[in-house]
Chains A and B, each alone.
Chain A
Amino acid sequence: MKLTVKSDSLVVKSPQEIILARQKVREYARSLGFNLVDQTKLITATSELARNMVEYGGGGIVVIEHIDDQGQKGLRVTFEDQGPGIADLEMAMLDGFTTGNGLGHGLPGAKRLVNEFEIDSKIGLGTRVSIVRWA
């Protein structure tokens, strides 16, 4: 059972707000005792997913949580938008797939940077991505 110890949520619609989300995640990661490399992985994954949300989902909400699973501390970050959704999730998770002018490493790359990765998307309703890294 994952309990939320502390959380913050931020509206992210602009590139400037992506930076704020990264700073908040950094703050949480530091206070949870993540080392520098793990902090960097978390803020990089946050940057990728928040940017997708701004670029393709029209912006959305980022929720940052300090979670606890029977004494195991972790950081969960959830990205939720009400954009157009992703037509083919399997394709979107492949390295090199993009419908924009990216390189298509954002989603699969973010997944590699964390311990748990969940993505849920419905056409016309939006996209929700949730990542966890254990401390």
Chain B
Amino acid sequence: MERIPIIKMGPFLLVTIQVDMHDRLVMALQEDLTEMVSSNGARGVLINISSLDMVDSYIGRMLGGIASITSLMDAYTVVVGMQPAVAITMVELGISLQGVMTALNVEKGMDLLRSKLKLAPEQDHEIDREE
């Protein structure tokens, strides 16, 4: 079965969403993330949506779903890379990514996660060694 790759980046997990994902793919991703958050003890998940040319209520719901699942696992989700035209349109459509943090890009998203988790900047490797 087709699956969305999840990449480990220091203490975080990175998922890049390419196009529209159908229900089964979303469910598989949610399962895989839950699995990886628990096995790796990851405390943060970055979801890169820079290649999405729109976010409709369906995709918005999917992102919210991932965030609420990871928060149950005591991890934070940050959505990164939303295109400006997509952000403007989402506001008018009336969907807000409630409970989902956003950042401009992957790097800023990692900074946000580090500050949320009170990790010192660029200390990912030390954290790795501690484990």
Q: Which of B83-124 contact A (CB under 8 A)?
A: 85-86, 88-90, 92-95
Stretch at the interface among A33-41, A58-66, A76-84: A33-41
Number of interface residues of B (CB under 8 A): 21
A108 to B95, CA, bound (A): 11
Given A103-B95, A105-B95, A109-B92, the answer on whether A51 and B53 have CB atoms closer than 8 Å is no
Q: Does more than half of chain B's interface fall in helix, strand or loop, or is it mixed?
A: helix
A3-36 toward B: CB 8 Å interface, digit per residue (1/0)?
0000000000001101100100010000000001
Whether A40 and B54, one on each chain, are in contact in the complex, defined by CB atoms closer than 8 angstroms, is yes
Q: Which residues of B contact A110 (CB under 8 A)?
A: 93
Q: Which of A19, A40, A112 contacts B85 (CB 8 A)?
A: A40
Contact between chains at A102 and B57 (CB < 8 Å): yes
For A97-129 the 0/1 string (1 means CB < 8 A from B) is 000001101101110110000000000000000
Does A68 sit within 8 A of B, measured CB to CB? no
Tell me the minimal C-beta distance from A124 to chain B in angstroms: 27
Q: Size band of the A side of the interface?
A: 20 to 34
Give Cα A40–Cα B89 distance, bound, in whole angstroms.
7
Verify B54–A105 contact, CB threshold 8 A. Answer: no
Whether A43 is near chain B, meaning CB under 8 Å from some CB there, is: yes
Which residue of chain B is the closest to A39 with respect to CB atoms?
B85
Q: Determine whether B1 belongs to the interface, using a CB cutoff of 8 Å to chain A.
A: no
The residue among A40, A48, A108 with the most chain B CB atoms within 10 A of its own CB is: A40
Residues of B within 8 A of A130 (CB): none
Q: Are A44 and B94 in contact (CB under 8 A)?
A: no
- Could you tell me the distance between the alpha carbons of A36 and B19 in the complex, rounded to whole angstroms? 18
A43's partner among B54, B92, B94 (CB-CB below 8 A) is B54
Mark B50-82 against chain A: 1 for CB-CB distance below 8 A, else 0. Answer: 000111111011000000000000000000000
List residues of chain A with CB within 8 A of the CB of B23.
15
CA distance A40 to B92 in the complex (A): 11
| Pair A103/B61 contact, Cβ less than 8 Å | yes
Report the bound CA distance from A47 to B93 in whole Å.
Answer: 12
Across-interface contacts of B125 in A (CB, < 8 A): none
Which chain A residues lie closer than 8 Å to B92 at the CB level?
41, 109, 112-113
Most chain A beta carbons < 10 A, residue from B19, B23, B85, B94? B94
**Residues of chain B having any CB pair with chain A under 8 Å:** 19-20, 22-23, 53-58, 60-61, 85-86, 88-90, 92-95
